[in-house]
């Protein structure tokens, strides 16, 4: 398996991305804890009223850093309570080590229940993380040939973090700047290959970013630099309740 050279090479594109990440890091330092809590609640309520979320059975949710991004605890708990299959990121050494491939990659592993979720311990960044010792017993979306896969190996909905987002001027697609490790890029690349091997056309999951309002760039602040590995998102839910991208046209169910 090969990936475009952009992933591990210093290029003008990667330099532009690094500069924007540095700028956003400074900007997000000024966002208060109370604002993050309030915006996270708004994102949760907005997502919970979307049919795209309500109808999804197999979802992945990023687990949040303590600061600088939307907190997803309420989303994880709601999805578990609704009986959805909830998968969260797991990082591990790439077993297919080769030039041009990342040394560490990401899969999505399934949470068993509330107790399992609450047993997760924070890593060095403060992100709740799966105990590697439990991974062999868990369902995984991708993994290696000898791991336990779930009965249906693809996701319906992937809720994604990011550093910065904006809208493409030509097609209205949501552009995302990640944290620079390429974990989601490579995961999405591998999931697309798996979908193709299963005879599916197009990308198999709905991709939705969750972001603080401060992470959405207006034209003077942008653009978000993107390359061939950067998958456009189907939608973006912001901390002020706004929805951007094609998802904005989806119906809201506000009966609750």
Q: What's the pLDDT at 103? A: 86
Query: Residue 81: is its pLDDT beyond 60?
Result: yes
Assess contact for 113 and 98: CB atoms under 8 A: no
| Lowest-confidence segment of 21-35, 45-59, 154-168, 219-233 by average pLDDT | 219-233
Q: How many CB atoms lie within 10 A of CB 16?
A: 16
216 or 148, greater pLDDT: 216
Domain borders along the chain are 5-248
Query: Residue 152: is its pLDDT beyond 90?
Result: no
Phi, psi of 115 (to 5 degrees): -60, -40
Helix (H) or strand (E) holding 24: helix 12-28
N- to C-terminal Cα distance for the chain?
A: 46
Q: What's the pLDDT at 256? A: 47
Q: What is the mean pLDDT of residues 9-26?
A: 91
- 204-217 residues labelled b (16+ CB within 10 A) or e (exposed): bbbbbbbbbebbbb
Query: Residue 6: is its pLDDT beyond 50?
Result: no
Q: Closest Cα partner for 204 from 39, 82, 58?
A: 58
Q: What's the pLDDT at 197? A: 79
CATH number of the 5-248 domain: 3.40.50.10420
| pTM (two decimals) | 0.91
């Amino acid at each position: 398996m090969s990936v475009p050279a952009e992933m591990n090479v210093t290029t003008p594109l990667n330099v532009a991305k690094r500069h924007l990440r540095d700028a956003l890091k400074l900007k997000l330092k000024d966002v208060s804890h109370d604002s993050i809590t309030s915006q996270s609640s708004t994102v949760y309520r907005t997502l919970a009223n979307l049919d795209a979320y309500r109808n999804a059975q197999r979802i992945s949710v990023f687990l949040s850093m303590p600061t600088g991004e939307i907190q997803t605890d309420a989303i994880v708990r709601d999805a578990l309570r609704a009986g959805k299959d909830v998968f969260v990121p797991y990082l591990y050494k790439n077993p297919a080590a080769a030039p041009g491939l990342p040394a560490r990659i990401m899969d999505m592993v399934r949470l068993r229940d509330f107790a399992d979720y609450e047993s997760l311990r924070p890593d060095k960044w403060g992100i709740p993380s799966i105990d590697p010792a439990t991974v062999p017993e868990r369902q995984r979306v991708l993994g290696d040939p000898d791991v336990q896969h779930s009965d249906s190996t693809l996701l319906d909905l992937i809720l994604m973090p990011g550093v910065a987002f904006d809208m493409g001027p030509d097609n209205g697609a949501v552009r995302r700047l990640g944290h620079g490790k390429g974990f989601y890029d490579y995961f999405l690349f591998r999931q697309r290959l798996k979908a193709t091997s299963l005879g599916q056309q197009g990308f198999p999951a709905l991709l939705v970013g969750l972001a603080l309002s401060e992470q959405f760039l207006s034209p003077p602040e942008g653009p978000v630099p993107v390359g061939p590995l950067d998958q456009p998102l189907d939608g973006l839910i912001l901390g002020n309740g706004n929805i951007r991208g094609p998802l904005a046209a989806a119906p809201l169910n506000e009966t609750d």
